Structure 1
Amino acid sequence: MPRLIRAYVRWVDAINYRLGRIVMYGIFVMVGILMWSSISKTFFLPSLWTLEMAQFAMVAYYILGGPYSIQMGSNVRMDLFYHNWSDRKKAQFDAATVVVLAFYLGVLLYGAVDSFAYSLGHFRGTPFAFLWELITTFFTAGPTAAGELLGYLERSPTAWRPILWPIKMIMTLGILLMLLQALSEFFKDIARIRGQEI
């Protein structure tokens, strides 16, 4: 495999491995939030934020842990015939399914970027152009100038009414990392079909 592909696989795998090892402790965050929810409902006034915050923590846990799960091969598989196949046939099948997964993740990524831009008050035009302009303005003219590009920030329709852009940003990042990990797995499958290792 070319050096550039090897470097890409090592880079993506290292990022997703480290992030996955950190995010796995998010389960304790969720347990803490839900325990506080139970305690506050039993002994005090119920907290408005606990259920929705637990949902946000679960989304972050799931979406940022997805690339790590793909990398470790611990994602769910229908293993009816797969375990009897040779390593080369498994790699061929995995490469074909990764292409389908990459298409699906590409569609999800477009929707996530659009939703993220919407949560920042962008209701017209292309979301990628808006986010690019927001980022470049932030780094060239500063946070105040970037803040002027923002519109009405989307809020949850619940009683707590948190702003939604942080969780939508996490979802966008997680889907992007999953797409990058899927491409890394594709390159590893191609290498295995050729009888090489990355």
Structure 2
Amino acid sequence: MERLLKISRIIDACTERIGRLTSFLVLVMVILGLWNVVGRYLGRISGNNLTSNAYIEAQWYIFDLVFFLGAAYTLKHNEHVRVDIFYSNWQRRRKALADLIGTVFFLIPFCVMVIFFSWDTIVASWQIREASSDPGGLPRYPIKATIIVGFVLLIFQGISQAIKNLAILKGYPVSEEENHDAGV
């Protein structure tokens, strides 16, 4: 079990770094969005085009990066949406069992299905170097690849969560941070 917990800690550390780096993209996205709005109005006043489709699409792409790269970080910190009518009152071991079952039978299979069903579309996008249909737009194929990257990161974090929950069920000492990260 110690070996598995070590793997879990490595996954958690990687997820933490990616999540913290991704959080800076939120500021970039907001600044870009502000420029898109201000540029549109200043452009109308001055008669010059101060924004473009590329800036608007860049804002969308950054949102995609935040969403796909931040999902595993959100899972690690137990900040995802949860309807916990019963869950909040459960004991630690019961929560760990529910989370383990949810991860193994729902989260990981769902992630695998998303990767499987999006693979051909993403490969085709790369093969044709798909670009935006809007004038001055950005290439679409690189951002589509983040679908796979994001769901692979989510699978790894799901494995880490499953390890921590299994450790709780087996009575292994789990640190308070790992306990919180496991969702219990």
Q: TM-score range by the shorter chain?
A: 0.7 to 0.9
- Deviation (angstroms), 1:187: 1.1
Residue aligned with 2:53, SS: coil
**Letter of the 1:105 counterpart:** C
Deviations 1:12-66 (A, max 9, x none): 1110001101111111111111111112111121422222211111010111011
Residue pairs, 1:93-172, within 5 angstroms: 93-99=98-104, 100-121=106-127, 152-172=128-148
Greater mean deviation of Cα atoms: 111-120 or 28-37: 111-120
CA distance in 1, matches of 2:173, 2:108: 22
Distance change (3 Å), C-alpha of 1:23 and 1:56: same
Count of aligned residue pairs for this structure pair: 167
Please tell me whether residue 72 in structure 1 is matched to residue 77 in structure 2: yes
Distance change (3 Å), C-alpha of 1:111 and 1:197: farther
C-alpha RMSD of the superposition: 1.5
Please tell me whether residue 88 in structure 1 is matched to residue 93 in structure 2: yes
Please tell me whether residue 8 in structure 1 is matched to residue 4 in structure 2: no
The residue that corresponds to 1:181 in the other structure is 157
Deviations 1:90-148 (A, max 9, x none): 00111111121100011112234333211111xxxxxxxxxxxxxxxxxxxxxxxxxxx
The residue that corresponds to 1:56 in the other structure is 61
- Structure-1-length-normalised TM-score: 0.79
CA distance in 1, matches of 2:150, 2:15: 10
CA distance in 2, matches of 1:101, 1:85: 21
The residue that corresponds to 2:171 in the other structure is 195
The answer to whether the Cα contact below 8 Å between 1:112 and 1:168 also exists between their aligned partners in 2 is no
CA distance in 2, matches of 1:51, 1:78: 34
CA distance in 2, matches of 1:48, 1:58: 15
CA distance in 2, matches of 1:112, 1:195: 39
- Deviation (angstroms), 1:2: 4.8
Unaligned ranges ≥5, structure 2: 44-48, 175-184
The answer to whether the Cα contact below 8 Å between 1:20 and 1:68 also exists between their aligned partners in 2 is yes
- Deviation (angstroms), 1:183: 1.1
CA distance in 1, matches of 2:124, 2:164: 36
The residue that corresponds to 1:127 in the other structure is none
The answer to whether the Cα contact below 8 Å between 1:188 and 1:197 also exists between their aligned partners in 2 is no
**Letter of the 2:22 counterpart:** V
